[in-house]
A and B are shown apart, each in its own frame.
Chain A
Amino acid sequence: MAPITQASDDSNHQALLDKLDIYAVRKPWRTPHWKPPQRRNKNVKQIIAEASRKEASVMATQNNSGTSTPLPAYSSMATGGLATPVNGADGNLSIAQAAQNLSTLVLEKNLRSSGASGGPAVTYTNIESAPSLHPSSQKRYCDITGLSAPYTDPKSRLRYHDKEVFAAIRTLGQAATEGYLAARGAHTVLK
């Protein structure tokens, strides 16, 4: 294709491209046989969905270990971890009891680690600014001109400044109306 800048004309364009091209440049620092994982390009939505799915499954296992299993008397959770319970059956724990013990230990560790960080973890989704509660977010501006808009056209739902803008609105087609609404995020989204 023809050059699109003044930097080169047709005669030296190919030479310029050769100079700019980094495909042919040797890149010795790259691990030669490394293959990127399949489908590694994910959008934010996918990443967040996967992360929350994973989190949910982890939560489920923790719940299992924590609540559905009654805590045995010798757990440090039950006794506050201070007093060692007197238990004569120490030597002959069944396998089931041992497994219970282990899951309780995991739970305890998790509780400790989350307690130490103080409050909920900071994630990409929960640092997003919340919807505005300030009255200024209720201000209305003309969709066409951006001036203040005391009126709304009931037919197209466009906000407008004065009768001249209204006259212009009434000549708009459906597509343009939707376009203006979309600029304000008030358009109809068909799913």
Chain B
Amino acid sequence: MVHSTADESSLPSGRNSPKPQPARIWSLSEPPFEGVRPVDSQGYRQSTPDTAIVIDNGSSAVRAGWSFDQNPRVSLPPLMARYRDRKLNRTFMFCGSDIYADGTARGQAKNAYEPGSNIVNNWDVIEGVLDYVFIKLGIDGSAGRIDRPVVMTEPVANLGYARKTMSEILFELYGAPSVAYGIDSLFSYSYNGGRNGLVISSSYMSTHVIPVAERKPMLSHATRLNWGRFQSAEYLQRLLRLKYPSFPGKISDTQAEDLVREHCYISQDYESEINKYLDWTGLEDRDHVIQCPFTEQVVVQKSEEELARAAEKRKEGGRRLQEQAAKMRLEKLIRKEQELEYYKSLQEGLVDLPKKEVKRRLDADDFDDEGQLDRRIKDMEKSIRKARNKDVGDAVEEEIETPTFPLLDVPDEQLDEEGLRQKRGQRLMKSNYDARARAKAEKEREKARVAEEERLDNERRETDLSGWVEERRIARQAIIQKIKDRERLKADLGNRKSLANQSRMKAIANLASDDKTKKRRRGGDDDNFGADDADWGVYRTIATGEQSDEEEEEDLSANLKNIEAQLLKHDPNFTEQSTREAQTDWTKSLMHAFLHGPWPFDPESQRDLHQVHLNVERIRVPEVVFQPSIAGIDQAGIVEIAAGILTERLADSPHRSEILKDIFLTGGNTLFRGFEDRLRSELRAVLPADSPLGIRRANHPGLDAWKGAAWWSSQPASRDAFITRADFEEKGHDYIKEHDLGNSYT
């Protein structure tokens, strides 16, 4: 891992500088189909009736071969699919990785082991797997039985029922002359020349720690942790499902296992490494991108010409709409202005009139009193001013010379039909023109007002900068608070039990109820709703969703931008970093780093949507062996187990110092990078300072169990450990003979 510290240099905005595209993108593995395996009968021809068939009955792979072999001849995952194809009217049976050749077979496949435990659960699958093994080993079987002794591995402290059933299959179904059982990790240890040591075997379904003294396992001290690579893969899958809840692709079990194998490693200092894992520096190296297959959405490419034409069309349409809208606005404005004119004249007319007359006139126009009229006039003025500003905004000053309307002064009587029509037209045009002129004047005035305000503001800033800044900051804070409040309210309304939602419900109930309990003493039925404009706010509070809020939100963010721009200009302490945009930038987001690494994420892109980013998972998943509580396993971790055995249970064993010198790692789950080093440093921390400590790993952590079993069975000394068919029938179906590499018989 090479990380450059150069990209630590952040931009002046305080945002993190973008990273170059990921150097490597991983993909998911193909189904592990291994092709047709030929029958290998050479071994059978070489064998004698005394040569044992050695089967490492593992939960990740069943490996089988002859006791004289260096390597197993057959290796297959303990899977079987047996189903009847109705169309062809025939039964199929596939074993091992062959099931990956066909979709139906894979769908029908069953595992021999109970998921998450090292005990066989499906004996039909075991039968199928053994059939497959015997076929591929080219066993003749003309005598109606396999006719060779069988050596098989079994879990530590295997359950009696499991052994009994296995023996029944081997003796009764396959007619094996004799059978011996042993523990896989002990085979591995003896194959690696162990004499006194602590065997730590972390394999597919479980992890075992077994002390061995003078080649004899101390099984009463053996300890099992229910965690292995299978559980790791399952945990990773679970984490990924939670991390990307709407992930469109699918990650199969074998793919998850491959992800664990390829990307995970044991952290040397988990606590501090995990906390720095999502830091920006070097994140591009720590974050592994897995691309799942996806189909890019096809975007129809239009030619240049077509695009231009479409754009033109759109523009044309827009223009027409704008014109229409402007015309309509103008008409409305004129109408309003006329109304205003009328009300103003009404107001002027009221000045010298007696009260009664005033009342009559007001009533005629539906006003209660003069105040209301006043208010109406003010409202209208305001809205007209607003409309004008808007209008002039886009209405370009076209008419420079003042048009003349000569016909307007001519009385109607002097005009004929044609003249009258023209006069009407001119009148309309004149009012149009007048309205524009008024709007322009209004805008000028507004501009002046704004300029004046700004001047005052500048003055104030120059005289009292700190006060001004303070004011702005408070204003900015208020806007941010408002935005946050809005977000919270939105989130709360989604929750049925939240306070916001309950008060909303109450408001609705109040509005709907015809509550007559409050007796209205005076007056009739009128509840004065609407007399105060704020009354209508109730509809806003009961409306959910974003109907009305959008405009306001835009307003808020525009305001915020404005204030921030001012602050940036004048406040020396307010930098790019302090702007809200910079603070909420994705490059600073922990969640973004967690979900999408140091690269931008485009929710529209199928490519991005089909990506999985492995970052903290890379150390979080394999860490469980050391800290099972992470995954909710209520067991002690591997170091605590080992330390407990070494310092307490073996405290007064004469072999203790020998055992300490040989901590032996085997099993596929110990293959993680850093496993050995981590174990060494943690054990060193809990052991007495001067005690010797040696840790080593099996030559082939996966294969050595089989090799050890083969080697053992080729030794004449092992003959005593075989049980014969007669033993099986006489001493019980779960009977075994105890030996140095096997379980004890209970």
Residues of A within 8 A of B175 (CB): 29, 31
- Specify which of B101, B226, B629 is in contact with A5 (CB 8 Å cutoff): B101
Residues of B within 8 A of A139 (CB): 271, 627, 629
- B18-54: which residues lie under 8 A (CB-CB) from chain A? 30-31, 33, 35-36
B121 near A51: Cβ-Cβ < 8 Å: no
Question: Measured between C-beta atoms, what is the minimum distance from B207 to chain A in Å?
Answer: 8
Known A16-B101, A137-B629, A139-B627; contact A147-B275, beta-carbon cutoff 8 A: yes
B157 near A124: Cβ-Cβ < 8 Å: yes
Residues of A within 8 A of B95 (CB): 22
In the assembled complex, B451 has its CB within 8 A of some CB on chain A: no
A132 near B122: Cβ-Cβ < 8 Å: no
B131 near A22: Cβ-Cβ < 8 Å: yes
In the assembled complex, A117 has its CB within 8 A of some CB on chain B: yes
Residue-wise interface mask of B (114-132) relative to A, using a CB-CB cutoff of 8 A (1 in contact, 0 not): 1001010111100110011
- Specify which of B173, B589, B635 is in contact with A131 (CB 8 Å cutoff): B635
A145 near B594: Cβ-Cβ < 8 Å: yes
Known A4-B31, A36-B123; contact A162-B224, beta-carbon cutoff 8 A: no
Chain A interface size band reads 35 or more
A119 near B220: Cβ-Cβ < 8 Å: yes
Which segment of A38-46, A71-79, A80-88, A95-103 sits at the interface? A38-46
B119 near A22: Cβ-Cβ < 8 Å: no
Known A44-B159, A148-B274; contact A6-B30, beta-carbon cutoff 8 A: yes
Residue-wise interface mask of B (133-171) relative to A, using a CB-CB cutoff of 8 A (1 in contact, 0 not): 011000111101111000000011111111001001100
Known A124-B157, A130-B635, A132-B629; contact A176-B226, beta-carbon cutoff 8 A: no
In the assembled complex, B328 has its CB within 8 A of some CB on chain A: no
In the assembled complex, B242 has its CB within 8 A of some CB on chain A: yes
- A147-191: which residues lie under 8 A (CB-CB) from chain B? 147-148, 161-162, 164-165, 168, 170-171, 176, 179-180, 182-186
Which segment of B102-110, B415-423, B442-450 sits at the interface? B102-110
In the assembled complex, A90 has its CB within 8 A of some CB on chain B: no
B278 near A145: Cβ-Cβ < 8 Å: yes
Question: Measured between C-beta atoms, what is the minimum distance from A42 to chain B in Å?
Answer: 7
A47 near B271: Cβ-Cβ < 8 Å: no
B121 near A132: Cβ-Cβ < 8 Å: no
B173 near A31: Cβ-Cβ < 8 Å: yes
A30 near B635: Cβ-Cβ < 8 Å: no
The closest CB in chain A to the CB of B147 belongs to A29
- Specify which of B119, B224, B277 is in contact with A47 (CB 8 Å cutoff): B119
In the assembled complex, A56 has its CB within 8 A of some CB on chain B: no
A22 near B132: Cβ-Cβ < 8 Å: yes
B222 near A168: Cβ-Cβ < 8 Å: no
Residues of B within 8 A of A63 (CB): none
Residue-wise interface mask of B (217-255) relative to A, using a CB-CB cutoff of 8 A (1 in contact, 0 not): 001101111100000000100110110010000000000
Known A43-B121, A127-B222; contact A168-B93, beta-carbon cutoff 8 A: no
A20 near B36: Cβ-Cβ < 8 Å: yes
A124 near B158: Cβ-Cβ < 8 Å: yes
- A88-144: which residues lie under 8 A (CB-CB) from chain B? 117-124, 126-134, 136-139, 141, 144
Query: In the complex, what distance in Å separates the CA atom of A176 from the CA atom of B128?
Result: 40
In the assembled complex, B746 has its CB within 8 A of some CB on chain A: yes
In the assembled complex, A53 has its CB within 8 A of some CB on chain B: no
Residues of A within 8 A of B617 (CB): 146
- A1-28: which residues lie under 8 A (CB-CB) from chain B? 1-8, 13, 16-17, 19-25, 27-28
Residues of B within 8 A of A179 (CB): 238, 241-242
- Specify which of A5, A44, A123 is in contact with B114 (CB 8 Å cutoff): A44
B744 near A122: Cβ-Cβ < 8 Å: yes
Main secondary structure of the interface of A (DSSP, over half): loop
In the assembled complex, B636 has its CB within 8 A of some CB on chain A: yes
B101 near A3: Cβ-Cβ < 8 Å: yes
Query: In the complex, what distance in Å separates the CA atom of A36 from the CA atom of B634?
Result: 37
A51 near B141: Cβ-Cβ < 8 Å: no
B746 near A134: Cβ-Cβ < 8 Å: no
B744 near A29: Cβ-Cβ < 8 Å: no
Known A8-B101, A23-B82, A42-B121; contact A137-B627, beta-carbon cutoff 8 A: yes
Query: In the complex, what distance in Å separates the CA atom of A27 from the CA atom of B227?
Result: 37
Residue-wise interface mask of B (606-650) relative to A, using a CB-CB cutoff of 8 A (1 in contact, 0 not): 000000000011001000000111111111110011000000000
In the assembled complex, B474 has its CB within 8 A of some CB on chain A: no
A43 near B114: Cβ-Cβ < 8 Å: yes
In the assembled complex, B174 has its CB within 8 A of some CB on chain A: yes
A29 near B223: Cβ-Cβ < 8 Å: no
Q: Given contact pairs A129-B635, A136-B637, enumerate 7 new A-B contacts (beta carbons under 8 Å).
A: A1-B103, A50-B161, A129-B223, A131-B636, A132-B628, A134-B637, A145-B616
Chain B interface (Cβ within 8 Å of chain A)? 30-31, 33, 35-36, 82, 90-95, 98, 100-107, 114, 117, 119, 121-124, 127-128, 131-132, 134-135, 139-142, 144-147, 155-162, 165, 168-169, 172-175, 208, 219-220, 222-226, 235, 238-239, 241-242, 245, 271, 274-275, 277-278, 491, 589-591, 594, 616-617, 620, 627-637, 640-641, 743-744, 746
20 contacts between A and B (CB under 8 A): A17-B105, A20-B101, A22-B132, A23-B93, A27-B131, A36-B127, A37-B168, A44-B121, A118-B220, A122-B219, A124-B159, A128-B635, A132-B628, A137-B629, A139-B271, A161-B590, A179-B242, A184-B630, A185-B631, A186-B632
Chain A interface (Cβ within 8 Å of chain B)? 1-8, 13, 16-17, 19-25, 27-32, 34, 36-37, 40-44, 47-48, 50-51, 117-124, 126-134, 136-139, 141, 144-148, 161-162, 164-165, 168, 170-171, 176, 179-180, 182-186
8 shortest interchain CB distances as A-B pairs:
A185-B632, A29-B141, A1-B103, A23-B93, A28-B141, A132-B636, A146-B616, A129-B635
